[in-house]
Amino acid sequence: MDMDFNGVIEFLQTTARSVGAEVASPWFYLQFGLILIAAGLAYAAQAAVRARVDMTSLAMSWPLPLRHFVRVMVGSTSTATFTVLVIAARIIMINATWPSRSYLLMVAAKLGFAWLVIRLVTSVLRNAFIVRVVSVSAWFIAALSIIGQLDATVDMLDSFAIVLGGLRLTPLLAIKAGALLIVALWLTNIASNFIESRITSATDLTPSIQVLLVKMIRMGLLVVAIVIALSTVGINLSALAVFSGAVGVGIGIGLQKIVANFISGIILLADKSVKPGDLVTIGDSSGRISAMKTRYISVAAGDGREFLIPNEDLVTQKVVNWTYTDKNTLVKIPFATNYDADPRVVCKLAAEIAAAAPRALKGKPPNCILTEFGEVAMKFSLTFWIADPDGMDHVKSEVMLALWEAFKREGIRVPYPVREIRIRGGALPVETTVEVPN
């Protein structure tokens, strides 16, 4: 580890002497008071603007860039007011006394103006966390530059170093790498979103191929962004080879499931066994695939729920895809009648009712067969085809209700058990018998 303690101590001593000399002057307290007054007036101006201006309808008829600029400036009224008031106080102090006696006002004005510019520049970002990180970091760098301590701070951060093989790690290097990574990832996200919009609008690509291309492009752009960011700050990628063993062990142990799900997602997209829009049943979960992610697929159940199923489960478990090659779906309705009914009449009546269903396919006639002579009833199976499995339970319900109405009309009875409890001698034992009415 390489550290320059003497340089750090000298920097701290110089800073302490400068601050001490400034605080000892009576002009410091005058400037500090003026800054507090400016801050109070700026806060009052911001409150007045918020009470009188509707930000949602502000400059709606203006062009988008100008409307965006106006809204940012109105939202930064306190900063702008503070900067203007401090600049005015600075001008008055310069004309009334020595310029050195208004140094603190000059610093405050520059800091306020720097924050106003940063606020305007970062307003194009949509991620609130990134906006805060970028704003605070940029303002901190601007503050160090304004007070003339940027070079000294850079030297101090570069004086602490850890040497690993051929790689020299310093706080300054980490800050530069982090900043460049944020910028590179932001640009990568913009580029990948643009490419994704173009791919998804291509009608000659299947949904699976679209998702596969988007994932591959995102991953490729991510790798390129990381490599460029690290190379720009002077990190030799070959020096990172010492970490390859640890990374391999981490992937093999801690990231096993993540890697398995990622590879499974690539396999699913390549073999097209499932794709967005398919109606699937996986275990106890059924619904349409609404999205295919790197780690999981999202299955919308139709009742407001969404099942997030790991990609590995689709590769290793049994999956029922109702729309894999053909959306036509066979609907099966089992039912029973008593032995007084004519089974041929029952089959004909059931087939006619199924054929009359609005969603039944006309090209594939329904079929009703007698499947079993049970102990108390004849059992039948009615089958018919519909064009899409969506709403299959509703179709079954409508056909079963029509069957019930037809049976009532034709005098065909559906058997049901009747239980009688006989108590002998007014006490237990109790004998239970089941009778089925004819």
Q: What is the pLDDT of residues 132-151, one digit of tens each?
A: 777 788 877 887 777 777 77
Cβ atoms of 206 and 275 within 8 Å: the answer is yes
Q: Do 10 and 113 belong together in one domain?
A: yes
- CA diameter of the chain: 120
> Which pLDDT belongs to residue 334?
93
Cβ atoms of 312 and 261 within 8 Å: the answer is yes
> From residue 430, how far is each of 426, 427, 433, 435 by CA, in Å?
10, 8, 10, 16
- Tokens of residue 385, six digits: 């085809």
Q: What average pLDDT does range 334-360 have in this prediction?
A: 91
Q: Do 144 and 173 belong together in one domain?
A: no
Distance of CA 265 to the CA centre of its chain: 17
Q: Do 341 and 307 belong together in one domain?
A: no
Mean pLDDT is highest, among 17-21, 201-205, 278-282, for 278-282
Does pLDDT of 221 surpass 80? yes
> From residue 309, how far is each of 258, 284, 296 by CA, in Å?
13, 11, 5
> Which pLDDT belongs to residue 147?
74
Cβ atoms of 384 and 355 within 8 Å: the answer is yes
- Tokens of residue 274, six digits: 């499932």
Helix, strand, or coil here: 59? coil
Separation of alpha carbons 74 and 195, rounded Å: 35
Comparing 431 with 307, which gets the higher pLDDT?
307
The reply to whether 71 falls in a domain is: yes
Nearest of 264, 273, 288 to residue 324 by alpha carbon: 273
Band of residue 406 on the pLDDT scale cut at 50, 70, 90? very high
Q: Do 138 and 121 belong together in one domain?
A: yes
Q: What average pLDDT does range 9-35 have in this prediction?
A: 66
Enclosing domain of residue 283? 269-321
> From residue 418, how far is each of 197, 335, 414, 432 by CA, in Å?
64, 18, 13, 10
Band of residue 261 on the pLDDT scale cut at 50, 70, 90? confident
Q: Do 104 and 212 belong together in one domain?
A: no
The reply to whether 424 falls in a domain is: no
Of 44-48, 107-111, 195-199, 209-213, the poorest mean pLDDT is in 209-213
Q: Do 33 and 153 belong together in one domain?
A: yes
Q: What average pLDDT does range 325-331 have in this prediction?
A: 82
> Which pLDDT belongs to residue 3?
47
Which residues, listed in sequence order, are joined to residue 319 by a DSSP beta bridge? 282
Q: Do 174 and 241 belong together in one domain?
A: yes
Output the average pLDDT for the chain: 78
pTM, 2 dp: 0.45
> Which pLDDT belongs to residue 22?
57
User: Which positions ≥6 away from 65 have C-beta within 8 Å?
Assistant: none
The reply to whether 430 falls in a domain is: no
Separation of alpha carbons 180 and 168, rounded Å: 18
Residues 226, 227, 229, 233, CA torsion sign: positive
> From residue 95, how far is each of 91, 100, 104, 105 by CA, in Å?
6, 12, 16, 14
Q: What average pLDDT does range 269-276 have in this prediction?
A: 78
Separation of alpha carbons 332 and 316, rounded Å: 29
> From residue 92, how far is each of 31, 119, 305, 320 by CA, in Å?
12, 28, 66, 80
Does pLDDT of 13 surpass 60? no
Q: Do 10 and 152 belong together in one domain?
A: yes
Q: Do 84 and 184 belong together in one domain?
A: no
Of 163-172, 261-270, 380-389, the poorest mean pLDDT is in 163-172
Nearest of 77, 91, 157 to residue 119 by alpha carbon: 77
The 3-state secondary structure of 265-334 reads: HHHHHHHCCCCCCCEEEECCEEEEEEEECCCEEEEECCCCCEEEEEHHHHHHCCEEECCCCCCCEEEEEE
Number of structural domains (the chain) is 4
CATH code at position 245: 1.10.287
- For 168, phi and psi rounded to 5 degrees? -105, 110
Q: Do 336 and 275 belong together in one domain?
A: no
Separation of alpha carbons 290 and 304, rounded Å: 12
The reply to whether 432 falls in a domain is: no
Q: Do 114 and 86 belong together in one domain?
A: yes
Does pLDDT of 168 surpass 50? yes
Q: Do 16 and 145 belong together in one domain?
A: yes
The reply to whether 376 falls in a domain is: yes
The reply to whether 55 falls in a domain is: yes
Does pLDDT of 426 surpass 60? no
Helix, strand, or coil here: 414? coil
- Tokens of residue 404, six digits: 């019930």
